[in-house]
Structure 1
Amino acid sequence: MVAVIYAGMRFMPTYDFSDTIVLTDLGTPQRVPQTGSYAETAVPSGVWPGARADGAIRSKEDVWNTLLWLSVCGLLLVMAIGLTVGWRLSKHLLAPLGVISQAAAKAADGQLQYRINAGGPSDELKQLADTFDTMLARLEESFAAHQRFAANASHELLTPLATTRAVLQIAAADPSGEEFAELAPMLVETNERNITIVKALLSLAAADHAPFDPEPVDVAALARDVAADRTARAATADLRLDVDTEPGCTVPGNATLLRQLLLNLLDNALAYNRPGGSVHLSVLREDQIVIEVENTGLHVDDIVAQRLFEPFYRQHSRVTSDRSGHGLGLAIVRSIVHAHHGTVTARANPDGGLTVRARLPRDAG
């Protein structure tokens, strides 16, 4: 605006002021009026507004008129340029918002595989688009995990029920009852399996949603007690169970849930092992309390290790395995750790087996 007014006042009018200042011999300034009066001169069409008939500025009034006219014209020009440039610039800058809105609409329709993949400089809009892509990826992964959970849970519950139905049909077809006497133990075992699955699902739900008032829990002492309970089982399976703890490993939490966490970790390490192998349980005091269980066994892929925390997920299918367990042990571990505001990871050992590490916040006291 300043540039427009300055250029207009500097180059467009012709300045010819009516009075001239001269110096006499005595050095006294005198004002010498020029002949001719322009007060009554009309401004013809096409002459600069505020100037005289010949386009010259000769008085203070002409300056103010010209300044007013140039200010109005400059304001209109700057406004037009600003609106045009601003509209084009905002359209360019806000274009990613349209793409993000389109991605949100597709996600609402269930198309979670769509990604924005925004390019350009790393500004706020690109960061928003990248964050939205990350959210879509996590939603897609979570949705797929829930689908697998529903399918696996249905399979786990349907198989024992189908077995029970077959046993009952065989027993009903035998009037003497001899077949039923032989199949009764199988029926009891199948029913116990159903009960175990339901209890595991209830434990998983309790770990995810059950509120509790955290109290200081000595995880090291709890780990030693749990290891003592599993010593006989380890000896039966020809496995060596070692425990390594440090003093002062206290966390705010629920003792029952933390005991369940340790039991599930040890049971998983003992079940998926090999004769002559070992299980090492350690509780360390670092910036957080670290619970680590390392076992020997078959080789585990890194991709598989990250999916072991999914409910009902197994490294090997039920057809090729010994059909022990339900694939809920580590899922319950993850839920308990998250309920205590911690993190848990699984890492495949180079020589076989798995190392599961849970990190829990230390007790402030």
Structure 2
Amino acid sequence: MLDGPVRRRRRGLSVRLRLTLSYAGFLVAAGALVTGVLFSVLRFVPDDENLVVADDGRFVPDRSDLLGEAVPVALAGLAMLAVVGLLGGWILAGRMLRPLKELTDAAAAVSTGSLDHRVDLAGPDDEFRRLADQFDRMLDQLQHSFEEQRRFTHHASHELRTPLAVTKTMLEVALMDPDGSGRDELLARLVEMNDRSIQILESLFRLARLERMDLETEPVDLAEVAAEAGRQTRTDPAATDQEVRVVWDLDAAPTRGNRAMLVQLAVNLLQNAVAHNDVPAPTVWVRTGVDRAGVSALVVENTGAVLDEAAVATFTEPFVTGRAPSHSARWATGSGLGLAIVASIVRVHGARLDLQPRDGGGLRVVVAAGA
């Protein structure tokens, strides 16, 4: 909805008509300038009221005679230039403005919701072509964003509906059990479903907040960030009750960023690596350091099932968990937003996120940022 009344604008001349008048006016002005130069030359011709006869008997016109003949011809020439300027200018302006008409038609199609329309302007690489190409790129981004939004809404509604539907089913079964023999089990499962709903909602809130928050940065060492994440997830070397072996190789990796957000990023990567690791002798490798190009990086790798590159490319989309029937039930406890949150944190930091399947199974995640 618009804020305030729509301002009414005075209807003016079209661009094509203004260009036509400009072309015609230029031609007439140029013709008038040439005519003025010619008339200025005539002032050097003597003006004698008496007829001048040459030696051969021919009549020699004076200045008045020449002006009398030249003025009607000059006026007719200027009128012809005006007509040619109007007709030629109208045609030329139409040809020059044709790309703008295609852009206008494309914008009108987009305004009706048709995001698949593209200008695809032909011709040389000029200003109009670059404008049309930029317009097409903008439409590509808009279409991609709307498709992501539709998928996100669909997955979010499905993920939120599932625990509610399960809760409703369990309550209906409990109502049909007058003895209440399964009450304790029912309460435990209701708590589990409630915890899952809370986890999904908190993850959604965190993801939405990342997209609109202002980034306050400070000097940060990714090695310290990874160590803090290990303490929060109890995967650091001091934790003795962990099921997955975590191998740490933390070298200094200075960068700038928001410490809290980067710790959340590392926590999500560690939780993802531990949870998606249903193989004998599960192992996670965490490394930080600076490469030869001076880029600080955090690398998290884990063993696990063999993954397909096409599937890995979708892991940063919301609610995509990539779980397979052979994976552990621990995969089902996540919200499906962990890597989506990681991708958002990487994006607001202007860093780079690279996900690749490991040889032999598992996932390799690299977060790279300039020092």
- Fold conserved (TM > 0.5)? yes
The residue type equivalent to 2:261 in the other structure is L
What is the DSSP-based 3-state SS (H/G/I as helix, E as strand, rest coil) of the residue aligned with 2:182? helix
Cα deviation, residue 271, structure 1: 2.5
2:335 is the alignment partner of 1:329: no
1:147 equivalent to 2:156? Answer no
What SS does structure 1 have at the residue aligned with 2:214? coil
Matched, 1:58 2:61: yes
Structure 2 counterpart of 1:293, which letter?
Answer: V
Indicate the residue corresponding to 1:283 in structure 2. 288
Separation of aligned partners in 2, 1:299 and 1:89: 63
User: Secondary structure of 2:334's match?
Assistant: coil
Amino acid at match of 2:251: T
Could you tell me which residue of structure 2 aligns to residue 49 of structure 1?
none
Offset from partner CA, 1:27-54 (integer Å, 9 cap, x none): xxxx98659897xxxxxxxxxxxxxxxx
Identical amino acids, percent of aligned pairs: 34
| Shift in alpha-carbon separation, 1:238–1:256, aligned structure 2, 3 A | closer
Q: Write the distance in 2 (CA, Å) between the matches of 1:237 and 1:297.
A: 14
Match of 1:259 among 250, 258, 263: 263
Aligned 1:160-175 pairs, distance under 5 A: 160-175=163-178
User: Following the alignment from structure 2 to structure 1, what is the Cα–Cα distance between the partners of residues 138 and 328?
Assistant: 36
Q: CA deviation at 1:239?
A: 4.3
Taking structure 1 as reference, are residues 121 and 35 closer, same or farther at Cα in structure 2, changes over 3 Å only? closer
Query: Equivalents in 2 of 1:183, 1:100: separation in Å?
Result: 61
- Opposite residue 356 of structure 1, the aligned amino acid is V
Distance 2:310 2:355 in 1: 10
Instruction: Indicate the residue corresponding to 1:293 in structure 2.
Output: 300
Q: In 1, distance between residues paired with 2:252 and 2:328? A: 37
Aligned partner of 1:94 in structure 2 is: 97
Closer, same or farther: CA 114–321 of 1 in aligned 2, 3 Å: farther
Q: What is the rounded CA distance, in whole Å, between the counterparts of 1:18 and 1:245 in structure 2?
A: 101
Aligned equivalents of 1:32 and 1:85: distance in 2? 46
Q: Which runs of 5+ in 2 are unaligned?
A: 1-29, 39-45
Give 1:167 deviation, angstroms: 1.6
Unaligned 5+ residue runs, structure 1? 10-16, 20-30, 39-56
1:40-119 to 2 correspondences below 5 Å:
58-119=61-122
Aligned length in residues: 323
Tell me the C-alpha RMSD between the 2 structures.
3.6
Stretch deviating more after TM superposition (152-161 or 311-320): 311-320
- Superposed, which structure 2 residues align to 1:282-361 within 5 Å? 282-285=287-290, 286-316=293-323, 322=329, 323-349=332-358, 351-360=360-369
1:95: how far off? 1.6
Residue 245 (str. 1) matches residue 254 (str. 2): no
Question: Which of 183, 187, 190 in structure 1 is aligned with 2:190?
Answer: 187
TM-score, normalised relative to structure 2: 0.74
Bigger CA radius of gyration? 1
| Number of the residue aligned with 1:122 | 125
Call closer, same or farther: CA 1:250–1:137 in 2, change over 3 Å.
closer
If asked which structure has higher relative contact order (CA below 8 Å, sep 6+), I would say 2
In 2, distance between residues paired with 1:116 and 1:32?
72
Amino acid at match of 2:96: L
Q: How far did 1:90 drift?
A: 2.0
The reply to whether residue 199 of structure 1 matches residue 205 of structure 2 is: no
Distance 1:173 1:115, change over 3 A: same
What residue identity is the alignment partner of 2:170?
V
Which residue number corresponds to residue 276 of structure 2?
Answer: 272
- Counterpart CA distance in 2 for 1:328 and 1:121 is 45
**Distance (Å, rounded) in 1 between the aligned partners of 2:215 and 2:53:** 101
Counterpart of 1:178? 181
Change (3 A) 1:5 1:291: same
Greater displacement, 90-99 / 277-286: 277-286
> Cα deviations across residues 232-285 of structure 1 (Å, max 9, x unaligned)?
7898544443334225x13132x2211101111122223333434543333334
Is the 1:220–1:283 contact (alpha carbons within 8 Å) kept by the matching residues of 2? yes
2: distance between equivalents of 1:78 and 1:316?
A: 77
Query: Shift of the alpha carbon at 1:324?
Result: 3.5
Whole-angstrom distance in 2 between the partners of 1:113 and 1:321? 41
